[in-house]
Structure 1
Amino acid sequence: KPGRSCGWSPRDRPKVPAGTKPALQRPGRVREPAEGTWTGQGGENPLCGSSLSAELPCLGLGPAFPVTNRNFPSPGSPKLLHSPLRQAVVKALDQLAQQGKIKEKTYGKQKIYFADQDQFDTVSDADLHSLDASIMALTAKVQGLQQSCRHMEAELKELTSALTTPEMQTEIQELKEECARYTERLKNIKAATNHVTPEEKEKVYRERQKYCKEWRKRKRMTTELCDAILEGYPKSKKQFFEEVGIETDEDHNVTLPDP
Structure 2
Amino acid sequence: MSKKDGGECTEKVRRYMEQQNRPYSVNDVFMNLHKEVGKTAVQKALDQLTAEGSVREKTYGKQKVYVFSQDQFPPLDESQLQEMDRKAAELSATLKEKEKQLCETETQLRQLIKATQIEEEVSRLQQKLSDLTENRVLVSKEERDKVVKESDAMTRQWRKRRRMAMDILDAILEGYPHPKAQLYEEIGIETDQDAGVTLPKV
Shorter-chain TM-score bucket reads 0.3 to 0.5
The structure carrying a bigger helix percent of its residues is 2
TM-score by length of 2: 0.46
- State TM-score, norm by structure 1: 0.37
